[in-house]
Structure 1
Amino acid sequence: MGGHHGEPYTVPHPSVYKVENVPQLLEVKEALGRQGLSDPWLRNEAWRYEPNAFGTHASRLRTFMFRGLGIGFSLFLVTIGAEYALGIGKGQGDHGHGHGHDDKKEH
Structure 2
Amino acid sequence: MEHYTDVRSQSNRTRGLTHTSPLEVSLQAALDALGDPIRRRIVRELADVPDWTRACGTFSHLPVAKSTLSHHFSVLRNVGLLEQRDEGARRLNRLRQEEFDHRFPGLLALVLEEERQG
Q: TM-score range by the shorter chain?
A: under 0.3
Q: Which has the higher contact order (CA 8 A, sep 6+)?
A: 2
Larger radius of gyration: 1
Looking at secondary structure, tell me which structure has more strand per residue. Answer: 2
TM-score, normalising length: structure 2: 0.20
TM-score, normalising length: structure 1: 0.21
